[in-house]
Amino acid sequence: MKKHRVSPAVIRRLPRYYRRLTEMQRSGVERISSSTLAESLDLTASQIRQDLSCFGEFGQQGYGYNVETLRAEIAQILGLDRGHTAIIMGAGKLGQALIESFQFSQNGFRLLAAFDVDPHLVGTRVAGIPVLHNDQLEDFAAQHPISIGVLTVPKPAAAEAAGRLVRLGVQGIWNFTNTRLSVPDSSVKVESIHFDDSLLALSYMISEEE
Amino acid sequence: MKKHRVSPAVIRRLPRYYRRLTEMQRSGVERISSSTLAESLDLTASQIRQDLSCFGEFGQQGYGYNVETLRAEIAQILGLDRGHTAIIMGAGKLGQALIESFQFSQNGFRLLAAFDVDPHLVGTRVAGIPVLHNDQLEDFAAQHPISIGVLTVPKPAAAEAAGRLVRLGVQGIWNFTNTRLSVPDSSVKVESIHFDDSLLALSYMISEEE
């Protein structure tokens, strides 16, 4: 599969394609045209064909895509088969909500452990995942390769926790702290979920209607 | 302020401008050129000027923007001064994490109440916010205008909860259920935070480096 440098906008759309194809496969859809897929995603067919062309040849002119095949190919592009691992920094309510309800494995990640400083949490398990003390992080990492750290610590603890993850050599940080992380090592990818940005976009949309 | 129909991409960037300007204001920056603002956001200066031109005239050619003024103007565009209100459907761990840690008021929303069915939660308060029984929702809404419902119920309860919010006449739904909501009434705006999409984008970025 040929790979060019891919734009951030394409990287954002790939997971949406994957999600929609997963839904379609579950509903028993076997084949789909790029225009039908596009319509269901508020995109154009040529946009989808162009995005996918970054990664090689998909589908057959005039016959559309085989849903299962395209889904599998996008899964591979997204790295779902790489055996990625994750740990969670911060086993408070947000951390616990992710451990209990978020399907890490469906997204190609094995969740190994959570870390916290709260003595009421350390030593317990949440949905089978052990909660270890922050101080055990480096020892744990020496024994278990960690692909990414999920950051669900309180805002004031974000910078220090991110720094520790970077020094451990993680490849990525999934940042839920609603704060901007400055990570000097550009080989560590930071993906932030900004709740504010999302709510403000909604605020704009409902204000526009008034 | 003149308002054209604004593209979804612009709506996504406005909160990022607002967030960055807030950070700059806190750091004591008074004036900023569009190129400096652009650089800090991985955008181009002409992109920013074009985005803002959807809403009128901002800044002065050659002098850049006054940070405080531009921030206030974007706040107004985003609807932060409209007195929006919010309720939370689902006071489990994710709901509680939002109640305790997310700054609704900083984003122009007054959080009124949370709703759940768990007898251990109903009747309590989380960070001062009352948790009421789901059955009280309609009565509550009759007395308190609700702009948006925040959906943090478990996935299987998402569709029904969304339907109730639509029937109540909310203007928007902030959807954390990681499930696609089909809302027939298009005047109700749905903004979804898809944790999967975010983690898959990170997965792509770290896989690309391997």
Q: For residue B55, what pLDDT is reported?
A: 86
Place of tokens 């309590």: B124
Q: For residue B6, what pLDDT is reported?
A: 83
Select the residue of B108, B172, B202 nearest A189 (Cβ to Cβ). B202
More confident residue, A174 or A9: A174
Q: For residue A3, what pLDDT is reported?
A: 52
State pLDDT tens for residues B14-62.
999 999 999 999 999 999 998 999 998 889 999 999 998 888 877 777 7
Mean pLDDT for A8-34 is 92
Query: Cβ–Cβ of A96/B101 closer than 8 Å?
Result: no
Nearest residue in chain A measured CA to CA from B12: A201
Per-residue pLDDT band at B4 (split at 50, 70, 90): low
Name the CA radius of gyration of chain A, rounded: 20
Q: For residue A182, what pLDDT is reported?
A: 85
Q: For residue A57, what pLDDT is reported?
A: 79
Mean pLDDT for B160-179 is 95
Q: For residue B70, what pLDDT is reported?
A: 94
Of chain A, the percentage scoring pLDDT greater than 70 comes to: 97
Average pLDDT over chain A reads: 92
Pairing outcome for strands A65-66 and A31-32:
antiparallel
**Beta-carbon contacts below 8 Å between A and B:** 182
Query: Cβ–Cβ of B84/A206 closer than 8 Å?
Result: yes
Average pLDDT over chain B reads: 92
Per-residue pLDDT band at A58 (split at 50, 70, 90): confident
Q: For residue B2, what pLDDT is reported?
A: 45
Q: For residue B3, what pLDDT is reported?
A: 52
Residue pair B204/A11 in contact (Cβ under 8 Å)? The answer is yes
Which H/E stretch holds residue A25? helix A8-26
Q: For residue A145, what pLDDT is reported?
A: 96
pLDDT for B210 beyond 80: no
Chain A: give the shortest CA distance to residue B60, in Å.
25
Per the rule left: phi > 0, alpha: psi between -120 and 50, beta: everything else, B129 is: beta
For residue A48, give the amino acid letter.
Answer: I
Cα A36 → chain centroid:
26
Query: Cβ–Cβ of A79/B203 closer than 8 Å?
Result: yes
Q: For residue B101, what pLDDT is reported?
A: 92
CA atoms within 13 A of residue B169's CA, in its CB half-sphere = 7
Per-residue pLDDT band at A2 (split at 50, 70, 90): very low
Residue pair A188/A174 in contact (Cβ under 8 Å)? The answer is no
With beta carbons under 8 A apart, name residues in chain A contacting B96.
93
For residue A163, give the amino acid letter.
Answer: G
* Closest alpha carbon to B18 in B79, B76, B73, B71: B71
pLDDT for A101 beyond 70: yes
Residue B133 pairs in a beta bridge with B116
Nearest-angstrom CA–CA distance, A13 and B201: 9
Contacts of A187 (CB under 8 A, 6+ apart): A171, B209
SS3 content of chain B, % helix, strand, coil (to 5): 45, 20, 35
Q: For residue B8, what pLDDT is reported?
A: 83
For residue A186, give the amino acid letter.
Answer: S
Burial of B96 (0-12, 13-18, 19+ CB in 10 A): buried
Chain B: give the shortest CA distance to residue A131, in Å.
16
Mean pLDDT for B1-12 is 73
Q: For residue A78, what pLDDT is reported?
A: 95
Burial of B120 (0-12, 13-18, 19+ CB in 10 A): exposed
Contacts of B77 (CB under 8 A, 6+ apart): A204, B1, B14, B55
State pLDDT tens for residues A138-195.
999 999 999 999 999 999 999 999 999 999 999 999 999 988 898 887 789 999 999 9
pLDDT for B168 beyond 70: yes
Q: Which of B47, B100, B206 to mutate to test the interface with A (most CBs of A within 10 A)?
A: B206
pLDDT for A1 beyond 60: no
Reported pTM: 0.91
Query: Cβ–Cβ of A197/B3 closer than 8 Å?
Result: no
State pLDDT tens for residues B188-198.
999 999 999 99
Query: Cβ–Cβ of A106/B200 closer than 8 Å?
Result: no
ipTM of the complex: 0.94
CA atoms within 13 A of residue B110's CA, in its CB half-sphere = 9
Nearest residue in chain B measured CA to CA from A206: B171
Mean pLDDT for A59-87 is 91
Q: For residue A93, what pLDDT is reported?
A: 96
Q: What is the DSSP string of B13-41?
A: HHHHHHHHHHHHHHTT--EE-HHHHHHHT
Planar angle of CA B194, B125, B115, nearest 5 degrees: 50
Per-residue pLDDT band at B1 (split at 50, 70, 90): very low
Q: Which of B71, B180, B207 to mutate to test the interface with A (most CBs of A within 10 A)?
A: B207
Per-residue pLDDT band at B183 (split at 50, 70, 90): confident
Length of chain B: 210
Q: Which of B152, B171, B204, B209 to mutate to test the interface with A (most CBs of A within 10 A)?
A: B204
Select the residue of B102, B191, B209 nearest A201 (Cβ to Cβ). B191
Q: Which of B109, B199, B207, B210 to mutate to test the interface with A (most CBs of A within 10 A)?
A: B199
Q: For residue A56, what pLDDT is reported?
A: 82
Per-residue pLDDT band at A67 (split at 50, 70, 90): very high
Mean pLDDT for B125-152 is 97
Mean pLDDT for B153-162 is 95
Name the CA radius of gyration of chain B, rounded: 20
Planar angle of CA A16, A85, A88, nearest 5 degrees: 90
Chain B: give the shortest CA distance to residue A173, in Å.
8
